[in-house]
Amino acid sequence: MSALQSEEGHCVKVLTPASAVRALLGAVLVVVIAMTTSLMAPAQAHAITRAKILKRANVCIKKRVPYSQSGTYKGYRRDCSGFVSMSWKLKKSYTTRTISKRAKRIKISSLKPGDAVLIRGHVSVFGGWKNKKKRTYYALEQTTWGSHAKKRVRKIPHGAKALRRKGLTSPKKRRIVVTEPRPVAPSAPPTSTVSPPSAETTAVSPPLESEFTTPSALPPSSEPVTPAAAASVISLLDSTTVGVRFVV
């Protein structure tokens, strides 16, 4: 690189071919270092809920996946730390020394289902407290050679660490919208289709009288009936036509 002086007296730097090559190599080196750093950085974990963690762990337990430090299950190593990595749905299988990078330290009393309990050389998924004093808990874990994934009761040992996975999320709560029922207008009383009785139907009909009546007997008399009076009555009856109407 050489310097030239312009007409205004300013110093202008001119790149030679060799200096240009060096500058280009430096830029390439910076890009390579940045890419290497990003590749060496631990992979970020997917967000997951506690219920999902327990479900993944219990599926492995139900299938009685055997313990192994070389074999895999769903791409995860089948040992204790691989079991926790699988349950937490991490990008890879971590070890008991590196699993803490994907978690944060919490108090033992703050443990909740889905967290992890780490001791020297072993780690397990915390499944919940067995008693109210928080001295024993349900451990979901891979144990040792010749065994398989299982759930068992463990005591909190001295020096145990409680870990909570980073990126832990809570399930989305569904919003329940309660709408008040619309007021219903009172319905009109049903109208009667029966017409009121007319004056003609309500009027009481007079009792029917027979078209023909028979002569009633003579009013009783206190006087005795003489033979002449009886003869006149008989003659009257013989001369009178009595009409009778039979109604069937």
CATH of the domain at 66: 3.90.1720.10
Q: Report if residue 141 sits inside a domain.
A: yes
Task: Give the DSSP H or E segment for 201.
Answer: helix 199-202
Q: Report if residue 196 sits inside a domain.
A: no
Summarised one tens digit per residue, pLDDT across range 188-227 is 666 655 555 555 544 455 554 444 444 444 455 555 556 6
User: How far is it, in rounded angstroms, from Cα 88 to Cα 103?
Assistant: 10
User: How far is it, in rounded angstroms, from Cα 152 to Cα 144?
Assistant: 13
**Host domain of residue 114:** 48-169
In this predicted structure, what is the pLDDT of residue 213? 45
Q: Report if residue 230 sits inside a domain.
A: no
Q: Report if residue 121 sits inside a domain.
A: yes
Using CA atoms of 92, 95, 96, 102 in order, give the dihedral in degrees to the nearest 10: -30
Listed as ranges, residues in the chain with pLDDT below 50 are 2-8, 10, 12, 37-44, 201-203, 208-218, 241-248
Task: Confirm whether pTM is higher than 0.75.
Answer: no
DSSP β-ladder status, 168-169 and 48-49: parallel
Q: Report if residue 112 sits inside a domain.
A: yes
Structure tokens, 40: 């060496």
Neighbours of 227 (CB within 10 A): 7
In this predicted structure, what is the pLDDT of residue 27? 72
Structure tokens, 29: 């080196």
Identity at 111, one-letter amino acid code: L
Q: Report if residue 195 sits inside a domain.
A: no
Task: Tell me the angle at which helices 50-62 and 80-88 cross, rounded to the nearest 10 degrees.
Answer: 130
User: How far is it, in rounded angstroms, from Cα 35 to Cα 45?
Assistant: 20
In this predicted structure, what is the pLDDT of residue 30? 59
In this predicted structure, what is the pLDDT of residue 69? 94
List, in sequence order, every residue forming a beta bridge with 106; answer none if it has no partner. 162
User: How far is it, in rounded angstroms, from Cα 197 to Cα 200?
Assistant: 8
Positive or negative torsion for Cα 186, 192, 193, 199: negative
In this predicted structure, what is the pLDDT of residue 164? 97
Q: Report if residue 165 sits inside a domain.
A: yes
Letter string b/e over residues 134-149, b meaning 16 or more CB atoms within 10 A of that residue's CB? eeebbbbbbbeeeeeb
Three-class SS state of 235: helix
In this predicted structure, what is the pLDDT of residue 215? 46
In this predicted structure, what is the pLDDT of residue 117? 97
49 φ/ψ sector (left φ>0, alpha ψ -120 to 50, else beta): beta
Q: Report if residue 180 sits inside a domain.
A: no
For the chain, the domain total comes to 1
